[in-house]
Structure 1
Amino acid sequence: MVHADLAHGFAILDRLRARYPHTESVLMDRTILLAHEGRWVSESVPISTPLDHLTDAESHLYHDLAQDTFGPAVRLEQERIRYHTVIASLNG
């Protein structure tokens, strides 16, 4: 499982899946992002590199982040995700 800041996290996940294709992401989805809007920060170095090893849902979210769909350079750092959300996601 991989969990990191979304846009850069997707780049890390993409590289990891190139070697380990069955890697699953945690807390890297649209629902988590939108539920934490008040905790977003700005990405100082936004990325928009093509990523080939994401699921369709991850790819769509990555595209929306790269295109500033939610605002300029949106970033959700893992430390900003509510603890109860983390525990609920890990418990399935």
Structure 2
Amino acid sequence: MDERGWSKYRLSKECGLSESTLANIFRRNVEPSIATLEAICSGFGITLSQFFADDTMVELSPELKELFDNWVALTPEQKQLTIQIMKAFQYK
């Protein structure tokens, strides 16, 4: 969160989780369910395997970095629309 400058509120909106759920994880060391971890990963735009991977860095091309930087700024609704548009381009 700190790397992105996100508050817990922003993370809750990106993940679709309540702030109280995140507070329980961060403050009370409550172990999240797999579904909760998937939601958090989705909010960050990563997979569960990336979440559990070691600290090996993946080098992104400038084009992919720009795409990712723009992606993380989108609302969940905008992300869904973007995915639909991308899928439409695949079939043309």
Which category of TM-score, normalised to the shorter sequence, fits these structures?
A: under 0.3
Greater RCO, 1 or 2 (C-alpha within 8 Å, sep 6+): 1
More strand by share: 1
Q: TM-score, normalised by structure 1?
A: 0.26
Structure with the greater alpha carbon radius of gyration = 2
More helix by share: 2
